[in-house]
Amino acid sequence: MYTTATLKEMLAAGKFDKTFSLLYSDDPSVLKAQAQRYAKAADEFTALFKSGHDVSLFSAPGRTEVGGNHTDHQHGCVLAASVNLDVIAIVEKNDDHMIRVKSEGYPQDDIDLNELEIKAEEKNTAASLIRGVAARFKELGYEIGGFNAYTTSNVLKGSGLSSSAAFEVLIGTILSHEFNEGKISAVEIAQIGQYAENVYFGKPSGLMDQMASSVGSFVAIDFHDPKDPVIRKVAFDFASSHHALCIIDTGGNHADLTDEYGSIPVDMKAVARCLGTEVLRDADEAALYRNLKDIRAKVGDRAILRAMHFFADNRRAQDEADALNKGDFDRFKQLVIESGYSSFMYNQNVYTCLNPTEQGLSLALAVSEKLLSGKGAWRVHGGGFAGTIQAFVPLDMLDTYKETMESIFGNGTCHVLNIRPVGGTKVQD
């Protein structure tokens, strides 16, 4: 813990550079920028709370979905990774049993820890996430307490990089370290975040987003038993493949598309029930094809197509992890492309029927195919309907690819990311 004044001195002197190299990059310009970012956050904290005698630093990363599109909520398999975009917090404990969080660009949220019941008026707000995380901590028998926090994020909101999951993991990590000696596991923090998002925020998300943000690095996750997911680290360095991981922000935002997003698990579960199960992971795929006519009459065509996507993409996510572990990057890229086609044709989450003339994702995918066919890979990224695509671009094509995409979608819309080896964490020198 530090005073804000001491913290700023240490940041200016490069005392956090070793940690920042792990979290972000060892590029001197990046280290300098991060030091300035944290120092500015410390100034904002001091100005806001008129304090800063005993502060701590926290960070939780965004995530990229590498394999498995909309498989997690059906207890399927995913391949994901944390990235070097994150939400950070300057935190100081208080004695009044209130959690006060001021996030840059948003009104301050004040949560009374004596009032942890669901509040309908907080649905779809950051306040609901804070309250939900704190409530779940208490339900599970963990300690909670008041703190003041200033947060700032460079995780693109509505981008498919999961800014909400990063925020949930951040709050959980703070409560773990400040009141529970940092003993709550990354897996449980992720589960708590999902609970807050499902029950308090009102979004039917799976667990992949929170798990990747909380655990960190590349992770293959099998959610067959969501209470005890099987997590395995994937031993592959993308840099060694001579490719870059790019996320292209098409300018859309799926923040107002909760109903569209939510229709996917609804459709998939409808098919599962026709097959005698609650989720597709437990269903017999062959039975789907044997009973197509009857199931079609009950749930319609779209639900069946989305179920077909699940069965195939669930296998692909496992195959992608295996390909990376074997060092077969060409096979990995082919699987990524197949997954992207499946999302477009079967899962149908590349554009919304609410506004069919706006198809930024479709355009980005089409241009990526033209540029990268036979060389790289491309797919929709995250929940879909708007937001971002993902591309694996050969390094010798990176400049051309970036310039082309930004000529269409604007400067700064093609993000070249690093994979972060650390999930939600307390930042220390």
Structure confidence by residue, pLDDT tens digits, 376-415: 999 998 888 988 899 999 999 999 999 999 999 999 999 9
What's the rounded Cα separation, in Å, for the pair 219 and 416?
20
Instruction: Give residue 319's pLDDT band: very low, low, confident or very high (50, 70, 90).
Output: very high
Q: Which pLDDT score is estimated for 322?
A: 96
105-119, 208-222, 387-401: range with lowest mean pLDDT: 208-222
Q: Which two tokens stand for residue 168?
A: 């949930």
Q: Which pLDDT score is estimated for 342?
A: 98
Instruction: Give residue 227's pLDDT band: very low, low, confident or very high (50, 70, 90).
Output: confident
Average pLDDT on 199-228 reads: 88
What's the rounded Cα separation, in Å, for the pair 423 and 86?
10
In this structure, the strands spanning 147-153 and 98-103 are parallel
250-259, 271-280, 325-334: range with lowest mean pLDDT: 250-259
Torsion angle of C-alpha atoms 245, 250, 252, 255, degrees rounded to 10:
10
Q: Which two tokens stand for residue 361?
A: 């994702």
Domain boundaries, given as residue ranges, for the chain: 4-235+423-427, 238-417
Q: Which pLDDT score is estimated for 254?
A: 54
Instruction: Give residue 121's pLDDT band: very low, low, confident or very high (50, 70, 90).
Output: very high
Average pLDDT on 227-243 reads: 85
Q: Which pLDDT score is estimated for 426?
A: 98
CB atoms within 10 A of CB 422: 18
Instruction: Give residue 253's pLDDT band: very low, low, confident or very high (50, 70, 90).
Output: low
Judged on CB neighbours under 10 Å (0-12, 13-18, 19+), 150 is buried
Q: Which pLDDT score is estimated for 338?
A: 98
Percent of the chain residues past pLDDT 90, beyond the cut: 80
Residue 37, helix vs strand vs coil? helix
Q: Which pLDDT score is estimated for 23?
A: 95
* Angle formed at CA 282 by CA 279 and CA 284, multiple of 5 degrees: 110
pLDDT digits (tens, 9 = 90+) for 346-385: 999 999 988 888 999 999 999 999 999 999 999 998 888 9
Instruction: Report the CATH fold assignment for 238-417.
Output: Alpha-Beta Plaits (3.30.70)
Q: Which pLDDT score is estimated for 251?
A: 83
Q: Which pLDDT score is estimated for 255?
A: 55
Confidence check: pLDDT of 157 > 80: no
Output phi, psi for 284, to 5 deg: -90, 110
pLDDT digits (tens, 9 = 90+) for 178-191: 999 999 999 999 99
The owner of tokens 């038993």 is 225
What's the rounded Cα separation, in Å, for the pair 171 and 393?
34
Mean pLDDT of all residues belonging to the chain: 94
The two most distant CA atoms of the chain are separated, in Å, by 70
Check if CATH label 3.40.50.150 holds for domain 4-235+423-427. Answer: no
pLDDT digits (tens, 9 = 90+) for 30-87: 999 999 999 999 999 999 999 989 999 999 999 999 999 999 899 999 999 899 999 9
Q: Which pLDDT score is estimated for 161?
A: 74
Confidence check: pLDDT of 209 > 60: yes
Instruction: Give residue 239's pLDDT band: very low, low, confident or very high (50, 70, 90).
Output: confident
Task: Report pTM.
Answer: 0.82
Q: Which pLDDT score is estimated for 226?
A: 85
Q: Which pLDDT score is estimated for 160?
A: 60
CB atoms within 10 A of CB 199: 14
Of 109, 73, 110, 92, which is closest to residue 147 (Cα–Cα)?
Answer: 92
Q: Which residues contact 206 (CB under 8 A, 6 or more apart)?
A: 70, 71, 72, 73, 74, 194, 223, 265
The DSSP secondary-structure symbol of 2 reads: B
Of 150, 144, 161, which is closest to residue 58 (Cα–Cα)?
Answer: 150
Confidence check: pLDDT of 205 > 80: no
